[in-house]
Copies of this chain bind each other. A is one copy, B any other.
Amino acid sequence: MHGQTVEVIAQRILTGQFAEGSTLDITALQTEFDVSLTVLREALKVLAAKGMVDARPKRGTFVRPRADWSLLDGDVLRWQFARSAQPSLFEDLHELRGIVEPGAASLAAVRASEADVAALDAALAAMAAAGTDASAAVAADLAFHRALLAATHNELLVRMEVVIETGLAERDRMVHGALGTDDPVPSHRAVVDAIRARDPGAAASAMRLLLKKAFDDVARIGS
């Protein structure tokens, strides 16, 4: 498959190599990637679906303004980080988590079912069991935040997991396996305890504390 064609063009747009408003030279891209028009066309169709390009007869295929790009799309987020780390985007991402996740925790405290709490407990256990295995720790962390969003029983909130997922992946890449100074389990357990106690305010507070710790870790190690 020529799946990499999409990715390369996307990254050129995201990095500004293909500026907003500029028209793409289809023929040049065709010869560069050595693919048929159909292949290129389908790649551009994917980017069009994500609001990054638009095609009009006689005017050509051009890059849409950045304001129209689906930055909340999982693919777009990954493409952004794939080439080079973008500190500002990472900060935006963490900031969004800082808003969404405490709210989600609060909601989960009201809505969580027994099964939801069990899933959170399981993620907690996996986190404890991970120990020094960085990859397992990241997986458990992701499972925890996924379970939290699922516990809100709000489909749109659940889809925010693409943002959290990318944030965790990027954080993991930045700290490069270097674990946080202190055990992550207690801060996570505090969230679960608050949810089990059906205390929305406490759940939100615990989650804010958790996120602050996580971000401080990155700032310390990354600097």
Contact = CB atoms under 8 A, between A and B. Distances in A.
A174 to B, nearest CB: 18
A72 to B, nearest CB: 5
Contact of A95 (B50, B154, B159, B163): B154
Chain A interface extent, by class: 35 or more
A74 interface: yes
B71 A49 contact: no
A72 B38 contact: no
Interface stretch (A21-29, A100-108, A118-126, A210-218): A100-108
B96 A154 contact: yes
Interface stretch (A40-48, A127-135, A175-183, A185-193): A40-48
Contacts of A67: 158
Given A73-B73, A160-B72, A99 B92 contact: no
A156 interface: yes
Q: Which of A45, A67, A156 has the most CB of B within 10 A?
A: A156
Query: How many monomers of this protein are in the complex?
Result: 2
A156 B72 contact: yes
A221 to B, nearest CB: 23
Contact of A46 (B49, B89, B92, B156): B49
A93 interface: yes
Q: Which of A38, A100, A159, A163 has the most CB of B within 10 A?
A: A159
Interface string A73-102: 111000000000000010011011011100
Given A42-B42, A45-B49, 13 more contacts: A45-B45, A46-B46, A49-B49, A49-B75, A69-B159, A70-B159, A72-B162, A93-B156, A95-B156, A96-B154, A96-B157, A99-B104, A100-B103
